[in-house]
Amino acid sequence: MNPKYSPFFESLTLKSGIPLKNRIVLAPMTTLSGNEDGTVSDAELRYYARRSKGVGIAVTACTYVTPNGKGFSGEFAAYSDAFIPSLQRLATTIKEQGAKAILQIFHGGRECPPDFVPNGVVVSASAVPSERNAAVVPQALTDDEVAGIVKDFGETTRRAIEAGFDGVEIHGANGYLIQQFFSPHSNRREDRWGGSVEGRLAFPLAVVDEVKRVVAEHAKAPFAVGYRFSPEEAEEPGITMAETFVLVDALVEKNLDYLHVSLNDFWSKPRRGVEDTSRSRIELILERVGNKVPVIGVGSLYTPDDVAKAMQTGVPLIALGRELVVEPEWVEKVAEGREANIATTLTRDDQEKLSIPDQMWGMIVHTPGWFPLV
């Protein structure tokens, strides 16, 4: 192995006691490939098996915690105990390859297509449509409904424990329900779940508290809890870097195992909310809380040199999404000094070779610019 890549392979023990064999994470990516009944499909199991051998952690695609939280076609479900056997197949598949299995838990909120939710009723913090789903005006959740969804995140965490996962990642990113409560764009409430930035924090923190409570009650072995967030929003009004600092300061107090920054580009810089726009968002977040909680960085990193440069910021964990789709053996090839053989592009003949499910492959082929397709 090239010595400059040795930092990738340093071990790390998370606060919960979960030991990681290295610093590379399989990023959560939607496969669109669950069965019609909400169970995990064989195609998904093959996809995860191919990508869980080298990495320290494999974070699954998000699973929805309530029937009205389904955000995608082919999303596998976790809102009922009936899904525990399905979840167990996924956890076992990942762990058999040597990675720690983390279930990403989620509610789509106003981004849910009406066809996917009961009676077509899409819900959110407030009755404000999103800019990417502008035709759908969501129904504002009642106080009791909000409290119920908090409990649903806890119940899904219990199922993850019973299914044998090593942890959960709370999906507070990418414009979905948890972020909708924190965002001034989507949260116009004036009750205990809204108002000031602290009021808008109430729901995200309530979810964290409930998940942690369930872990303390039900987990018999170390069980990790991470939180994924998007550091800014393009919308006006929207989350700024200044508000992101309020969020991460609050999350640090919750003794989480990690914070996962959701970015399309690791090196992207702030839009607004801070005076220092010369450094990347990741660097500013690391400066703020990096000495208190491990941070996972992600975003358009493909080659070992890309990852080595990113780790020079001090970020302890790097997630690879698209690159591990393109090159499932990325970690093994770096470890064996075969980095020259790492693929960084796809061809239209690669689907079967790479164990990519049909629906995911269709999205890759028909979404220009998403993947390096040649």
pLDDT at 242: 97
| Mean pLDDT calculated for residue range 206-230 | 98
Instruction: Report the distance separating Cα 92 and Cα 5, nearest Å.
Output: 29
pTM beyond cutoff 0.85: yes
pLDDT at 4: 97
SS3 of residue 234 by DSSP: coil
CA 343 to chain centre: 24
Measured at the alpha carbon of residue 268, what is the angle toward residues 266 and 272, in degrees to the nearest 5? 140
Only one residue has tokens 């358009």, namely 300
**Active-site hit among 47, 64, 79, 176:** 176
DSSP assignment of 141-195 equals PPHHHHHHHHHHHHHHHHHHHHHT-SEEEEEE-TTSHHHHHH-TTT----STTSS
pLDDT at 253: 98
Only one residue has tokens 């989350």, namely 239
| Residue 47 falls in the annotated catalytic set | no
| Mean pLDDT calculated for residue range 10-25 | 98
pLDDT at 158: 99
**If we measure between CA atoms, which residue out of 62, 204, 69, 66 comes closest to residue 124?**
69
| C-alpha distances in Å from residue 46, one per residue of 76, 178, 352 | 15, 30, 11
pLDDT at 314: 98
Helices 143-163/202-218 angle, 10° precision = 40
In whole numbers, what is the pLDDT of the chain averaged over residues? 97
Q: State residue 351 phi and psi, 5-degree precision.
A: -55, -55
Instruction: Report the distance separating Cα 363 and Cα 279, nearest Å.
Output: 33
How many other β-carbons are positioned within 10 Å of the β-carbon of residue 9?
A: 16
Query: Where does the pLDDT of residue 8 fall: very low under 50, low under 70, confident under 90, or very high at 90 and above?
Result: very high
Query: Where does the pLDDT of residue 311 fall: very low under 50, low under 70, confident under 90, or very high at 90 and above?
Result: very high
Helices 241-252/281-289 angle, 10° precision = 40
| Mean pLDDT calculated for residue range 7-34 | 98
Domains and their CATH numbers in the chain: 3-366 (3.20.20.70)
- How does pLDDT run across 169-192, given as a tens digit for each residue? 999 999 999 999 999 999 999 999
**If we measure between CA atoms, which residue out of 195, 217, 215 comes closest to residue 207?**
215
- How does pLDDT run across 260-291, given as a tens digit for each residue? 999 999 999 999 999 999 999 999 999 999 99
- How does pLDDT run across 232-243, given as a tens digit for each residue? 999 999 999 999
Buried b or exposed e, range 272-305, using 16+ CB within 10 angstroms: ebbeeeeebbbbbbbebbbeebbbbbbbebbebe
pLDDT at 6: 98
Instruction: Report the distance separating Cα 290 and Cα 10, nearest Å.
Output: 18
How would you class 314 by CB atoms within 10 Å of its CB: exposed for 0-12, middle for 13-18, buried for 19 or more?
A: middle
Measured at the alpha carbon of residue 263, what is the angle toward residues 237 and 151, in degrees to the nearest 5? 70
- How does pLDDT run across 79-122, given as a tens digit for each residue? 999 999 999 999 999 999 999 999 999 999 999 999 999 999 99
**If we measure between CA atoms, which residue out of 194, 201, 195, 196 comes closest to residue 178?**
201
Instruction: Report the distance separating Cα 356 and Cα 222, nearest Å.
Output: 32
Whether 326 contacts 354, CB under 8 Å? yes
Give kind and range of the element (H or E) at residue 203: helix 202-218
